[in-house]
Amino acid sequence: MAKQTNPFLNFDMTSMMANFDPTKMADEFSKIAGQYKLPGFDVDAIMASQRKNIEALTAANQAAVAGMQQVAKRQAEILQTTLDEASKSLANLGKSTDAKDITAKQTELFSVAFEKALANMSELADMVAKSSGEASEVINTRIAENLDEVKALAKKLSK
């Protein structure tokens, strides 16, 4: 039996987003804001902070997309394995002629399938939690850094 693959799950979201560069937008905004000089207002520091925010969001999005791609890939693998096993099981089940034997095999098949389904759900949930945790960590780190930057700017302004 030839192994089939799902052509819809064989794509890379990161290549789709390769041309999207939010730092270019921040640079353009920085140029425009730099034209206006306000006393006590450090445009460069604020723009640098915002650029870091955009970079952190981009990194978090990339981590989330990569994680979801891994989940989708694993789901496709699970589906393919399940279909292959179901096909083999049905072929074996068709060889039986005794009703008690068929019932016993069906009961065993359902039991094994249920246990595998639970294990697969647990594995996928762990993958999603890991991916979400990685993306959240990027954002949490940037929030802490941003608070420190705001404190530093406030100190400068109070002098």
Task: Read off the pLDDT band of 90 (50, 70, 90).
Answer: confident
3-state secondary structure of 158: helix
The string of pLDDT tens digits covering residues 130-146 is 999 999 999 999 999 99
Long-range contacts of 125-132 (CB under 8 A, 24+ apart): 127/67, 127/70, 127/71, 127/74, 128/67, 128/71, 130/67, 131/63, 131/64, 131/66, 131/67, 131/68, 131/70, 131/71, 132/64, 132/67
In a domain, 151, yes or no: yes
In this prediction, what percent of the chain has a pLDDT beyond 70? 74
Q: Which domain holds residue 128?
A: 44-158
pLDDT at site 99? 85
In a domain, 7, yes or no: no
The H-or-E segment that residue 47 falls in is helix 43-95
Residue 21, pLDDT above cutoff 90? no
- Please list, in sequence order, all residues whose beta carbon lies within 8 angstroms of the beta carbon of residue 13, skipping any fewer than 6 positions away: 65, 68, 69
The string of pLDDT tens digits covering residues 30-86 is 666 666 666 666 777 778 888 899 899 999 999 999 999 999 999 999 999 998 888
Specify the number of domains making up the chain.
1
In a domain, 28, yes or no: no
In a domain, 16, yes or no: no
